[in-house]
Amino acid sequence: MTRKVLLVDDDVAVRDALGQTLELHDLDPATFGSFVAAKDHITAAFPGVILSDIRMPGRDGFHLLDYALEKDPELPVILLTGEGDIPMAVRAISQGAFDFLEKPCATAELLAVLERALKTRALVLENRELKRKLETGDAATRMLFGSSAQAKEMRARARSVAPTQAEVLVTGAPGSGVSKVAEVIHLMSPVAQGPFVKRVAASFSAEDIAAGFQEAAQGTLFLDEVQLLSTEAQYAVLDALERGVEARMIAGTTVDLQAAVTAGAFNADLFYRLDVMRVRIPSLAERPSDIPVLFRHYVAQAAEQAGIKAPEISAEYMASLMARDWPGNARSLMSAAMRFVLGMPEEVSEAAELGLAEQMAQVERSLLIAALGRENGRAAAAAQSLKLPRKTFYDKLARYGIRPEDYRR
């Protein structure tokens, strides 16, 4: 998450003190003594927030606020003043300030506001980048979800449901990116300019339902792990949908919701109302050919976050990744990419919990995939490198569900 703070204050002592405070709390301040000095650094792409005094010689904080919001209406600007009063606070908020604080303010209060603003900014920039990739076409979106037939089918399904206003149910294994796919559907929908409000169903009470739909008005309300809604909340959601709401509803789940209905754990009427359009995310185990493109993408992201050059990925290492089942799906692959970039050893696998036959099968599968990876998916060359007859090699591929074409670069 971005940690940059553009700090503007004409009082040198105050500016230096605030800058030191921010640095001590792991923030990255850039300090300026006036609007003129800071002006060229205020852009729509600024990866952080602005903290500015109001009363300054020449162009004051309100002028800076107007300038910043003209550059980017979603750029958080927090205003400070030593002579604050209610009318000034009202003016600051009405003109679009993210928040208003009176000097001297408690460090804890200042940091709390900054953290909230930085999280908001990070989400805005992430959404913009995601939307930019979506708009550049399939070549870019495969970096988000892969290029396998299963991934293409999932993307096509997401594109087909996005233009409608019907409810959508996004399903996938834990860590597969259910919330990310829901966000993609929102960004490709007619309400993309509206808010994308994400709520975890387990903490979403019946009393929260109306407020949630109201907050998401002209946008999308996404309920993550919808199966965890309380019985009362399930009825409240169903009632709201049947009465009509001004927000689109997307629900996400990592369980078989139909089975939950059969077991009496989920409201059948709500299930059928949510299951108008379904988008299923295939697990990584179903599409090993997506692992290289996804892993390279995550490595590039991790290297950028760490501020270091992305290390080279050998064919053998990539083959070993493709041989794994990845029960944690994209989330665990992202963690592996971060460890790889930082030079940390891989986590111990679950092999110790398996029986001897299962461990041997896992090793054999890994060797087959590694050979295909080294030989660029050429089955004959891979069989020869393992000193196996071709028929035996192909029999083993069939036994483990391995397709040579998945390992062609």
The position carrying tokens 């040198």 is 12
- Residue 155 pLDDT exceeds 60: yes
Beta strand 77-81 pairing with 99-102: parallel
pLDDT value for 327: 85
Torsion sign over Cα 364, 369, 373, 378: positive
Q: Once rounded to an integer, what is the mean pLDDT over residues 191-195?
A: 89
Across 201-307, the runs of DSSP E, i.e. the strands, are 220-224, 248-253, 277-281
Alpha-carbon gap, residue 157 to 277, rounded angstroms? 9
**What percent of the chain clears pLDDT 90, i.e. is strictly above it?**
42
**Average pLDDT value over all residues in the chain:** 86
Task: Report pTM.
Answer: 0.64
pLDDT score of 139 more than 70: no
Average pLDDT, integer, range 197-219: 92
pLDDT tops 60 at residue 351 = no
Q: Distance between CA 214 and CA 197 in Å, rounded? A: 10
Instruction: Give the mean model confidence (pLDDT) for residues 345-372.
Output: 64
As a whole number, mean pLDDT of residues 43-54 equals: 92
